[in-house]
Structure 1
Amino acid sequence: MAEAANQFGQFNLKPEIISVLTAIGFTTPTPVQAKLIPDVLQGRDVVGQSQTGSGKTHTFLIPIFNQLESDQHYVQAVITTPSRELAAQITKATKLFAEKLDQNITISEFVGGTDKLRQIKQLEKQQPQIVIGTPGRIKDLVTSGALKLHAVKQLVVDEADMTLDMGFLSEVDFIAGAMPEALQTLVFSATMPEKLKPFLKKYLDNPHFESIPVSTVIADTIDNWLLATKSKDKNDVIYQVLTTGNPYLALVFANTKERVKNIASNLRGRGLKVAEIHGDIEPRERRRVMKAIQNLEYQYVIATDLAARGIDIAGVSHVINDEIPDELEFFVHRVGRTGRNGLPGLAITLYGPDEEAEVAELEALGINFKAKRIENGEFTDVKDRRARKQRVATTKKLDPTMVGMVKKKKKIVKPGYKRRIKSAIKRQDQMDRRVSKREDMRAERKANKRRGQDK
């Protein structure tokens, strides 16, 4: 009876898939799942623009499992993701689904910083049915001849904008080129930068594009505070903020890895135990640090946007912005790390006199700041912030979707974060989907064939 009530039944999924969804507590599709799963099941190429926490991971996992041929032992689906941490999260969700399905489905995770020779030996014995990994390592395994992609049915490009930012599109290009022409391609991205559009045009065949605004990216439970640094040393201010608020877990964002290193070094010199997340951290150390953070061995984490993007750090009570990010979307991503699962969160943004225009842009976006100062070891209100000369803000035209993401009513939350956090921490799934024909690739191959015949 429980299966009959499961709303995923509207997609005409196999009964065993509905049973798994019910078993893992999925009974109602999220907006992105409701809009895109039908198209994916029909074999269409899809571009989904949706934020973290919208249910993107199962938007592509559900159709992948629904049409997987469990008795055929070749690579049927490939999921690329730009970071090791994202790959690990998707692998965990995929293996949980496979375990509940109980069909002996083989899943392999291939990421940088792991033993490539061992992976090659494993592939010589058996090809997995689902591959999840970072573009660089997948490319290496294909180049070596160990990983066979000649019969892949579905390709998922997860976090496409981050893949672009980190310079991995050429690797994804290579991977796609090793796949059949009759391929279904699913692309998921939190934002849709102009530089990504040529990639989409090249590799997707008449895709269905869907932009899903997520009204809970900045949760109702989050307070946004604004703290003027004025002529103060910013490192001093960050130390004051972290030691005044006594956060459960504070995530400090800086715009560059050099600044992350500087903040971390300064805080360590003052006796705080801090973790760093940025592009210069070696893979083995990065895994050790992430495991320690998940085990709550650190109270303070300093990170760059790209390195932390997509990492699910549970229990973040405070987000500190060392400065306003260059992209407004990054501000939303940062603040959305706290205030999850109905728990209260606090985002504190530091700004200097030269950042008034940026503050005005964020306010125009719909973010309501409370101006604060630190006095006698505690935060106090600044009541006269708007009493000064009216600012003339030269704000950019704002994306209505972004405005909708942050404009919402605040609700009163009760104290007790530390007591409730352990029971409320949950994983949130993430992204991507599947598959497509490649008209450009077909044309290029035909042209090469003609050139070979003309010789």
Structure 2
Amino acid sequence: MKNNFKQFNLEPYLLEAISELNFKEPTEIQTEVITNIQSNRDIIAQSKTGSGKTHAFLLPLLNQLGQNANNVQVVITAPSRELAEQLYQATIQLTKNAPWDIEVSRFIGGTDKNRQIESLQNSQPDVVIGTPGRLFDLIQSNELRTNSAYAMVVDEADMTLDLGFIEEVDKIASTLQSNSQLLVFSATIPQKLQPFLQKYMNQPIRIEIENKEVISDLIDNWLISTKSKERTEVIYNLLTIGNPYLVLIFANTKENVEKLANQLIDRGLNVGILHGGLDSRERRRVMREIHNLDYQFIVATDLAARGIDIEGVSHVINAEVPQDLSYFVHRVGRTGRNKLPGIAITLYSPGEEDEIQIIENMGISFEEKTIKNNEIVDAPEKRTERKRPAKPLEYDAEIAGLAKKSKKKVKPGYRRKIRSKRKELNKQKSRQKRKQNKRKK
């Protein structure tokens, strides 16, 4: 059988929408997920960012929609407003050519709740997409009736757990019928998610698409030391060398995002700002302007690293090494998409070598660069020649505890304390090893 979307017996309007998106062949996760949803299986799916999982669940679920049902048929939860908006837009695109009216509604925090209640009193939508808090709020007040839904999707489940929304998702799932299909999509499956999965899923099939490379081989992954240079100056130089198409710059806190963005704006650059401190209306406006390419440069927190799809990102700059190092892959994965090349640049200061080493231990390699005569060139002196442990750092519970605390707001010198503690423990281990060798002799 030819490997295209016709093999799934999709409605003509869905095939038309796929053609408009220029999708030729289903991705690996799309083939696996669509087939199993059509077999009415509960699914736990893990796959990397950009694998096509959104359309993997939307296509088969929309294909099952009944006509003129006037009740909720599909419920989709997303942990952030931006992700919910993205899912909503994808669903609208797929259903716009349907021969009957498919009502798709989004319910997210920070929007007019009274207007949403008024709309629900007139009719119940076919597809409901929203953030867990607002969805459960409307369900609890009996305005939104989800007990008729034949399927529920929990998108970005690990992020939902991290942000503290799993309790609301649990309550939403409890309103569904026992034979409703539950589909969970997540980059990772943390242990704390297991009780929810065991409570609501009926012999789920696990789909895990192996990530063949940690980051795409289409991405040039560069590392630049700021040394004694002012970080904003380095970033400004990177943004003005050549002519990057669209640059996503990551900082660790909303305060740092605001500060860096304003410094770049003061230097005459066209910069957008995206972080969780913006109200709902402002965040929607910024996302709309980003998609309209009103900005060439966007400074963001990790809010933009998980799931949010910004097309055409040619460069990613890590203005700071992420506090949660697992976010490094998510950040860098914003570029090098749709078979287009990309460049990822990570800045680091003296004292952050250990964090870079941990990233390298994840299987990620860097090309070390520097800026010279307004050009990006190979660094003459490599960090690896100056400082690199002979082997990956061993796990130590005490060090891990200190490192975990260092991700929070701590007193100056805390990172130094971690390095000092690590050296002390390594010395102790060396002494113990020497004693053991002497005893053996």
Tell me if TM exceeds 0.5: yes
| CA shift for structure 1 position 353 | 2.4
* Structure 2 residue 290 is the aligned partner of structure 1 residue 293: yes
For residues 185 and 280 of structure 2, the distance between their equivalents in structure 1, rounded to whole angstroms, comes to 25
Given candidates 392, 395, 399, the residue that maps to 1:394 is: 392
What SS does the corresponding residue of 2:352 show, helix, strand or coil? helix
* 24, 29, 33: which one aligns with 2:30: 33
2:127 counterpart of 1:130: yes
Report the 3-state secondary structure (helix = DSSP H, G, I; strand = E; otherwise coil) of the residue aligned with 2:351.
Answer: helix
Structure 1: unaligned runs, 5 residues or longer: 398-455
In structure 1, what is the Cα distance between the partners aligned to 2:134 and 2:32?
32
Gaps of at least 5 residues in structure 2 are 396-441
Mapped to 1, the partners of 2:55 and 2:102 lie a distance apart of 17
Q: Do the aligned partners of 1:279 and 1:307 also contact (CA within 8 Å) in 2?
A: no
Q: Are the aligned partners of 1:47 and 1:209 in contact in 2 as well (CA < 8 Å)?
A: yes
Q: Which amino acid aligns with 2:385?
A: A
- The equivalent of 2:351 in structure 1 is 354
Within 5 Å, which residues of 2 pair with 1:144-183? 144-183=141-180
The TM-score with structure 1 as length reference comes to 0.79
Which residue identity lines up with residue 262 of structure 2 in the other structure?
Answer: S
Residue 73 of structure 2 corresponds to which residue in structure 1?
76
User: Match of 2:233, SS?
Assistant: helix
Per mean C-alpha deviation after superposition, the further-off stretch among 382-391 and 129-138 is 382-391
Identity of aligned residues (%): 52
- Worse overlay, 186-195 or 306-315: 306-315
1:121–1:15 Cα change, 3 Å = closer
What is the 5 A alignment of 1:287-436? 287-385=284-382, 386-388=384-386, 390-395=388-393
Residue aligned with 1:48, SS: strand
Letter of the 1:331 counterpart:
F
Aligned counterparts, 1:217-232, within 5 A? 218-232=215-229
SS at match of 2:357: helix
Counterpart of 1:404 in structure 2 is: none
Taking the aligned partners of 2:31 and 2:103, their CA distance within structure 1 comes to 28
Contact 1:162–1:306 (Cα < 8 Å) also in 2: no
Contact 1:153 1:184 in 2 (8 A): yes
**Which structure would you say has the larger RCO, counting Cα contacts within 8 Å and 6 or more residues apart?**
1
Report what 1:270 is aligned to.
267
Cα deviation for residue 74 of structure 1 reads: 0.8
Q: Is 2:13–2:97's contact at 8 Å kept on the other side of the alignment?
A: no
8 A contact 1:217–1:336 mirrored in 2: no
Deviations 1:187-243 (A, max 9, x none): 001222333333322332221111112447733332111101223332332233223
Given that residues 273 and 300 in structure 1 are in contact (C-alpha distance below 8 angstroms), is that contact kept between their aligned partners in structure 2? yes
Aligned to 2:326, what secondary structure does the other structure show? Answer: helix
State the 1:185 CA deviation.
0.6
Contact 1:277–1:286 under 8 Å retained in 2: yes
1:46 aligns with 2:43: yes
TM-score (normalizing by structure 2): 0.82
Q: Which moved more, 1:74-83 or 1:15-24?
A: 15-24
Q: Which amino acid aligns with 1:200?
A: L
Mapped partners of 1:130, 1:368: distance in 2: 43
TM-aligned CA distance change 1:128 to 1:245, over 3 Å: same
CA drift at 1:147: 0.8
Aligned equivalent of 2:435: none
2:110 aligned partner: 113
**Gap change, CA 1:116 and 1:241, over 3 Å in 2:** same
Name the CA distance, whole Å, in 1 between partners of 2:343 and 2:385: 25
Question: Structure 2: how far apart are the matches of 1:28 and 1:295?
Answer: 27
Report the secondary structure of 1:238's partner residue: helix
Q: 93, 97, 100: which is aligned to 1:96?
A: 93
Q: 2:434 corresponds to which residue?
A: none
SS of equivalent to 1:218: coil
Cα distance in 2 for partners of 1:396, 1:117 equals: 55
For 1:273, the aligned partner's letter is N
Contact 1:357 1:394 in 2 (8 A): no
Counterpart residue number, 2:54: 57
Give secondary structure in 1 for the equivalent of 2:128.
strand
Q: Structure 2 CA distance, aligned partners of 1:326 and 1:338? A: 20
Task: Give the C-alpha shift of residue 32 in structure 1.
Answer: 0.7
User: CA 1:75/1:86 → structure 2, altered by over 3 Å: closer, same or farther?
Assistant: same
Hey, what's the Cα distance between the residues in 2 that align with 1:244 and 1:396? Answer: 40
1:110-146: CA deviation from partner (whole Å, max 9, x where unpaired): 2223222111111111111111111122122212221
Aligned residues: CA RMSD: 2.5
> One-letter code of the match for 1:294?
H
